[in-house]
A and B are shown apart, each in its own frame.
Chain A
Amino acid sequence: MLFNSIPFLVFIVVFFAIKPLVWKRDSSRWWWILLMSCLFYGWWDWRFLFLLLGTGTVDYFCGKFLHKDYYKKFFLWLSIVSNIGSLIIFKYSLFLAESLDAIFLYFGLSSHFSQSIPAFSLVLPVGISFYTFNSLSYTIDLYRNKAKPADSWLHFMAFISFFPHLVAGPIIRARDILSQLKRHEIINSLELYNGIKTCIYGLFQKMVLADNLAVYVNNCFDRVDASMGTLSWWFCMLAFSFQIYFDFNGYSTIARGIAKICGIHFKLNFNHPYLASGFSDFWKRWHISLSSFFRDYVYISMGGSRKGKLRAEYNRWITMLLSGLWHGANYTFLLWGAAHALMLSIENALKGLIKGLLTARLWRLFTFIVVVLTWVLFRSESLTDAINVYTGLFSWHNTPVKEIVLTNAFIWLILAAAIEWIDWRSYLSKLSKFPVIEAAFFALLIAITIYFRGPEQQFIYFQF
């Protein structure tokens, strides 16, 4: 069920209409969250509910044993195998099999691993990368004695399946959410109002900014043509940079808004990433919940920067490559991760040189341009497409500027950049000093979302 769809509108109305009746009683609140989350998830494909509930149940029991210090390593590994195993089966099996076939072929041997993959594993369950990571963080935190176990299976499953974050994050930690879900107070009208405003702004980002930009980007990538025109490709990549940002940030913002109305606080997932001062700063601002997951559970687990500079570089590269692969089973994502790892290494090596005001500003600009260029790998469906796009970007083919300026995407790109700047300067939050103007403004955002929404597009991060 998409946040920007009619079925979700009906769903959310029903959810909040019944909520006051069930929220105060402890058991009914947990059951209500679980049932509605299952409906939300099952709307897409009910069969994969069993996978969600199955891996969740394994993690719940692993957590029980971990807390009792009972065969801790065994149960930690059981949880890791269960989560990463389901990821490998449903997300990476075809990629691995095709890679093996290619390796065998390289040595003149014939293999048919990719044809032996069972059909069920070719369908990617929505949100699998997110809920397996939510679940993993729970067992790893228990192993490290950094969290308390869930009181019951129902509590744990309600946390894992809580619908605002279920299919596209943000990746949340049990230690942050379980205690909040236990609270049964109905939120006050100001919190409700703030939650609604957050949802409206998220919907605006997704449906107006991202979806209008998507039309142009999709046209370019549907049939990648290196000779399309250099300016068109640069414009396309700029449009995609803002599309993916507003698409994913829009989703996270709506998720935060809905959670806020339920009295739950989700941490910020994006913090104006395109204004980052460098690559390291970019990763502190982009998809924060995923970056911090990889930092805490991969980079630091491997020793972080405690074992010398060379080892720190190695750890960083592994973390970034895994982060790339997390996004999709394709070499393009692996290269995307590698490109960022390389830039982080270069930045680390040049740390001393980019301290001056001018060099710092140039580095900020350079970071933005390189981030835009790496999105080519992220958006392309194959390496051939990516090479074609890079050829289009760096070889001169004339494009009439008028052709770009008169597109709908161009107007929205300018507006998107302006809105991002307004948001960065916190002008929107300053509106709260003028309640009437603020109410009129958010009402106007609703009307603009209705009349200027782009053609309906799925959230980009659903595919991960």
Chain B
Amino acid sequence: MLVFVPIWIVLLGFLLPRLPSSPMLREAFWAVKVNDTKLYDIVFVGDSRIYRGVDTKFLSQMNMSAFNFGFSSASPDSLLITHALKKLNPKGLKIIVIGVSANSFMTSSINNTHFKSVQAWSNKDKWIKTNIYPKLNFFDHHALSDIYKFYKGEAYYENYDLMTGYAASDRYPFDSSSALSPYKQQFENESYSYSAETAFKSKVLQLKSLGYEPILVRMPCAQSMINLEDSATNNSVKKLLTSISNQGVLVMPTFNSSDFLSYDGSHLSSQSARHFTELFMQYLKDSTSILDERNK
């Protein structure tokens, strides 16, 4: 048996296709996100649109260090923001970019279930996932249905950048309306929390008064998704961003949806994520007042 085991392992390891999304790296990705103690100039906070939509390593071109602290179905509440602030270098730019969407204040998001579940992993688990999993991902587990879809040309790609917290994602074939139905269902079954929205607004203003530079962004997605969100929440996000902007907080201008490609209507493709990041960098350059002020 001892002879056959390595033969089978090597044989299967090479015969099986390398699936684009590594489950072990995914675990490591989240473990590193909550465990990482490095300090950065900019931290991005938000939901899956943030962690799949901002290619943080590009910011190194501007000699800035950046980290993507996005989690699935996350709400930018006090808990998440407080953890994000710990990643900001007190001697650096202290910029916190917060992704806001209608989904951020829906009842299922305001619990921040995903973030809390990752945080709740035991230290032993976090250590194993951070240090062992990335080295063993050759032995990733394969779902038979994924192999079938892979050979059929249908696949969901998620490539995890453990260093920057960004996950480049794509889905083949693209279907910019596939996420509409679940979102619609969510808006029908849940309610938009105005109290969470008010708490968020005061948190952002508090950040500003404490010397941080918050920048708010509504991530680009399919126009049909924006229409759905606005009609379901009575334009709440638009009103929120305008109101915060009027109080001197930087808010990125709205984007033309046709400039971006969303593979499901909600999340940006990896190519569009790069494009968005470039636009963000340009926005940062244009907002010279911030940089000049900080560089003094």
Contact = CB atoms under 8 A, between A and B. Distances in A.
Partners in one complex: yes
Contact of A7 (B1, B13, B124): B124
Given A411-B144, A440-B4, A453-B141, A447 B9 contact: yes
Nearest to B108: A223
A278 to B, nearest CB: 35
A451 B16 contact: yes
Contact of A447 (B8, B140, B141, B144): B8
A444 B143 contact: no
Interface residues of A, number: 24
Interface residues of B, number: 25
B132 interface: yes
A331 interface: no
B139 interface: yes
B79 interface: no
A439 B4 contact: yes
A450 B10 CA distance: 11
Nearest to A444: B8
A186 interface: no
Given A6-B128, A6-B132, A447 B142 contact: no
A439 B128 contact: no
Interface in A409-437: 411-412
A446 B8 CA distance: 8
A32 interface: no
Interface string B108-148: 00000000000000001000100010000001111111101
Contacts of B132: 6
Contact of B143 (A196, A212, A446): A212
A406 B144 CA distance: 9
Contacts of B290: none
B12 interface: yes
A370 interface: no
A408 B146 contact: yes
Contacts of A442: 1
B145 A452 contact: no
Interface centre among A408, A446, A447 (most CB of B within 10 A): A447
A408 B145 contact: yes
A193 B1 CA distance: 9
A455 B145 contact: no
Interface in A196-221: 196, 212
Contact of A451 (B1, B4, B139): B139
Interface string B1-33: 101110111011100100000010000000000
Nearest to A436: B4
Interface centre among B16, B140, B141, B148 (most CB of A within 10 A): B141
A107 B128 CA distance: 53
Contacts of B144: 408, 411-412, 452
Given A451-B16, A452-B141, A454-B141, A444 B4 contact: yes
Nearest to A449: B141
Nearest to A454: B141
A369 interface: no
A447 B16 CA distance: 12
Contacts of B149: 406
A407 B145 contact: yes
Contact of B12 (A406, A407, A451): A451
Interface of B: 1, 3-5, 7-9, 11-13, 16, 23, 124, 128, 132, 139-146, 148-149
Given A408-B143, A408-B145, 6 more contacts: A408-B144, A439-B1, A439-B3, A446-B5, A446-B9, A455-B23
Interface of A: 6-7, 193, 196, 212, 406-408, 411-412, 439-440, 442-444, 446-448, 450-455
- Lowest 5 CB-CB distances: which A-B pairs, in order? A443-B4, A447-B8, A408-B145, A408-B143, A439-B1
6 contacts: A443-B4, A443-B5, A446-B8, A446-B9, A447-B9, A451-B16
